[in-house]
Structure 1
């Protein structure tokens, strides 16, 4: 089943325009989620929208938006009034400027979306915009309205499409000074830096997301499978705290600890692919028999549902 677009409209660079669709590039729907239950009956908890004063349930058609001026005093805003102030970016991603990727503070990044042409027309204009951004080695900055709010969006080419990352506004980013001002100025010696560099070099590698595993998700799956099988749940022992208080000694021990596996001559353990491993562990929860689970190995990149 084809993913459903979160937004459809037009991408515009000056007078060059093409219809596009925007899709979420990430999803958390595959994670374990819980429902709230009534401990006495085992039934799910249902939430009702009620009047705060009377306690009566209020139907959706009688619910309006309101901005609180003072305690208990609100200004009502209707759906029609909100539509009246709809921005051009509700229907169009207008590219305003081009910047270097290194200029974008990572604190401003929110979430990524995939952008592709919508329908059979506009592919030529889309390709022109995409290849211009790629050729200039820049990031295009535009605006788009999602969930009734305007967002800044940074556009970058990826393969045949574009990735658009929503950005925060300056008022949404807290100043680091209120958190960092009380950090003490410490003189780090060359010996300490040399030992720390040695640890970094021993741990050096490439960024390979496919080898990451969500250990908490794995623990949740194991917990659910054990409870489903009626097995007793025994708490795991917590790691003992180390007594090393001397920083130089801790660095020296760390160097020895990281070097130990290399001296043993054992091959490095390959990280399992999180998506495939997680899917395999989820099979018992989904009701598949062990033989069926073994026969049907999950693909390396299972198709994800769109959010």
Structure 2
């Protein structure tokens, strides 16, 4: 089955970018290409690229050589297989996109909806490959609400195994685990993404706006350095955190203002069975029931 789709980035670029300046007068700084051996400036037309070996030698690589390695250009996403969502580690996911119908014809929309419903019913994830900007990517396609999303994936060799990371040697006792589960359970809530903000970005933008108005910024006092007090007591730390958070616990999320697609996405995250055939009101009732 062939389904025409368009790719839309699922992320908004909210990064704050800085220009490099000359601190003496505030003017922008421009970098100049400079040849180390000849000790002079180099025109961009005279520059190329090279791979540096471990011993410091440089192996020049031309544009033509790179072009010869590029995969065959294609406008399709080849789906190789379908697999349960739970079997693919999210650690392998990279950049997310949305896939929307490529046109509004009845055949395209019907085929798209059929794929969405079938994958949602089986809680499946599609694995495939595609080419973008001259590079081949692995891709995972999932259902999110009423649409398909695609995440580029890291190749297996790019993901470090958890076995390569040193873990704790000591195994806690059964009673300790039960106590920890109890304390953690008291603080468990439904995840509400709207309750989290990029506070660093907000503080930085506030500083920029103040300086733009000619206001001076007073640097904050350095935070006191915490000195280690021996082996950490996890239970004590958990109980302290819980005690501090009491009274500040977030209220249950109001789901009434969500669209059917958003309710379906939340139902997918919670693994509610039969969600693909539910109406908006049925989804709302099932989610509130938990």
Equivalent residue runs for 1:100-119 within 5 Å: 100-119=84-103
| 1:125 aligns to 2:125 (yes or no) | no
1:195 corresponds in structure 2 to 179
Deviation of 1:208 after TM superposition, in Å, equals 0.9
Write the distance in 2 (CA, Å) between the matches of 1:124 and 1:85: 38
Deviation of 1:18 after TM superposition, in Å, equals 3.0
Change (3 A) 1:267 1:37: closer
Change (3 A) 1:238 1:191: farther
Contact 1:89–1:143, Cα closer than 8 Å, also in 2: no
1:223 corresponds in structure 2 to 207
Per the alignment, in what secondary structure is the counterpart of residue 125 of structure 1? helix
Larger mean Cα displacement after TM superposition, 41-50 or 204-213: 41-50
Deviation of 1:39 after TM superposition, in Å, equals 1.1
| 1:173 aligns to 2:159 (yes or no) | yes
| Structure 2: gaps of 5 or more residues | 253-290
How does the TM-score come out when normalised to structure 1?
A: 0.67
Per the alignment, in what secondary structure is the counterpart of residue 230 of structure 1? coil
Equivalent residue runs for 1:26-105 within 5 Å: 26-27=11-12, 29-49=13-33, 53-54=37-38, 55-59=40-44, 66-67=50-51, 71-79=56-64, 86-88=70-72, 90-105=74-89
Write the distance in 1 (CA, Å) between the matches of 2:27 and 2:117: 55
Q: CA RMSD in A?
A: 3.2
Change (3 A) 1:105 1:235: same
| Structure 1: gaps of 5 or more residues | 1-15, 272-307
Contact 1:99–1:138, Cα closer than 8 Å, also in 2: yes
Deviation of 1:86 after TM superposition, in Å, equals 4.6
Write the distance in 1 (CA, Å) between the matches of 2:158 and 2:215: 47
Change (3 A) 1:63 1:22: farther
1:25 corresponds in structure 2 to 10
Q: Higher relative CO (CA 8 A, sep ≥ 6), structure 1 or 2? A: 1
Change (3 A) 1:189 1:53: same
Equivalent residue runs for 1:134-283 within 5 Å: 134-180=120-166, 183-228=167-212, 229-238=214-223, 241=226, 245=230, 247=232, 251-252=235-236, 254-255=238-239, 258-259=242-243, 262=246, 266=247, 268=249
Change (3 A) 1:33 1:242: same
Larger mean Cα displacement after TM superposition, 207-216 or 68-77: 68-77
How does the TM-score come out when normalised to structure 2?
A: 0.70
Write the distance in 1 (CA, Å) between the matches of 2:133 and 2:109: 27
Contact 2:207–2:217, Cα closer than 8 Å, also in 1: no
Write the distance in 1 (CA, Å) between the matches of 2:237 and 2:91: 34
